[in-house]
Amino acid sequence: MPGIRGPSDYSQEPSRKPLISSLLCFPFNAEPPRSALVQSYVTPVPLFYKRNHGPIPIIDHIHNYSVSFTGLIDNPTKLFIKDIKSLPKFNVTATLQCAGNRRTAMSKVRNVRGVGWDVSAIGNAVWGGAKLADVLELLGVPKLTGSTRLGGRHVEFVSVDRCKEENGGPYKASIPLNQATNPEADVLLAYEMNGEILNRDHGYPLRLVVPGVIGARSVKWLDSINVIAEECQGFFMQKDYKMFPPSVNWDNIDWSTRRPQMDFPVQSAICSLEDVQMVKPGKVSIKGYAVSGGGRGIERVDISMDGGKSWVEASRTQKPGKDYISEHSSSDKWAWVLFEATIDVSQSTTEVIAKAVDSAANVQPENVESVWNLRGVLNTSWHRVLLRLGHSNL
């Protein structure tokens, strides 16, 4: 498209200068050390996980960049970035999480296919941009619309980047029209991240942000937006990012039997400790994050040191200096909650467990075996770390 193009190789990737030298940087993905996640409520851009399925698009002439709006609407058109920036700007604090977050733990049960994420394929940012509902209204699609006059019921987002799974075609995904036209869903066409212009890794010049939904639907480097009758038929909607039971394998899988995953389930992880860590006897601080999809708040986070026989409740915070109340108007409904608890470690070996409960009383499952699936997605089982007494700075 004019102004921006998707290269065929990785020779022109953006330069990356992480805040800490241990940040993993690869062409396709990067996640920070888990301890970096709980240092601030808003994740600094260099520490925000990176995920893409092809080379980062190259911007040649930003003033020529536009997004085409086509499909089952009365007024197909294209909008330039200045047109989108002329609409009211909204800042939405939202957590994005890869569906494969915590895949590494799932792979220890049985082999899975996918990037070996630890617990850091997640981040919380302040996204700035125009609400998709306002953009669609500008094109003649009223707010809170479930179907257009021409039969459109879904909105498809097509990226500039090219990926092998689409046989060299563009990455794409869709959301229902009633979600796209609902101002309360806070779906954004974002051009800012944490008060700064998006960088290339995170979708410059324009990306979609769908709060409360797995990161795969927040398409970056937008090329076109199409109102369609059925959900997107792209690879990553139809043959990936679906939740199958443990009994399904690569020989008997039938992708058509499951719908594309949208909301992410309730999730939590301990970030202040590694999976096996030496600590000194005495008080140890446990810190981590908890989050749930669909705008559901976190009702509590529980910590256990005896395999789940007894629990203590962790404190929860979002904005510094303010009490967090689940689903209260003062809270960010699309954002994670940071939790903290102090435990007393005296045994030679102690397993620490964290589990979260959201405002709909959804709770993380106890065992990873019960949610194992061949793609290693949505590992929301209790998070466990093993502590051993010994010499440590903790």
pLDDT tens digit string along 192-233? 999 999 999 999 999 999 999 999 999 999 999 999 999 999
Question: Which domains, and CATH codes, for the chain?
Answer: 4-239 (3.90.420.10), 267-389 (2.60.40.650)
φ, ψ for residue 256 (rounded to 5)? -70, -10
258-314 pLDDT tens trace = 999 999 999 999 999 999 989 999 999 999 999 999 999 999 999 999 999 999 999
Amino acid 24: pLDDT: 46
Amino acid 13: pLDDT: 63
Amino acid 1: pLDDT: 56
234-245 pLDDT tens trace = 999 999 999 999
Tokens read off for 144: 């809170």
Give, for 34, the enclosing helix (H) or strand (E). Answer: helix 34-37
Distance CA 280, CA 268 (A): 25
Q: The tokens 């689940």 sit on which residue?
A: 326
Distance CA 293, CA 122 (A): 13
Q: pLDDT: is 31 or 21 the higher one?
A: 31
337-349 pLDDT tens trace = 999 999 999 988 9
Distance CA 8, CA 18 (A): 25
pTM: 0.94
Amino acid 7: pLDDT: 72
Cα→Cα distances 283→342, 352, 372, 380, Å: 6, 13, 34, 27
161-197 pLDDT tens trace = 999 999 999 999 999 999 999 999 999 999 999 999 9
Using alpha carbons, select from 113, 128, 4 the residue that is nearest to residue 55: 4
Amino acid 3: pLDDT: 72
Give, for 91, the enclosing helix (H) or strand (E). Answer: strand 89-97
Amino acid 19: pLDDT: 41
Cβ-proximal residues to 150 (8 Å cutoff; 6+ apart), any chain: 72, 73, 74
CB 288 within 8 A of CB 274: no
* 230-267 as b/e: b if 16+ CB within 10 A: ebbebbbbbebbbbbeeebeeeebeeeeeebbbebbbb
Using alpha carbons, select from 92, 66, 84, 238 the residue that is nearest to residue 154: 238
Distance CA 338, CA 327 (A): 15
Distance CA 311, CA 341 (A): 11
Amino acid 22: pLDDT: 40
Cα→Cα distances 207→24, 91, 162, 253, 323, Å: 23, 14, 15, 32, 32
Query: In this predicted structure, which of 135-149, 242-256, 319-333 has the lowest mean pLDDT?
Result: 319-333
Residues in the chain: 394
pLDDT bin (cut points 50, 70, 90) of residue 323 is confident
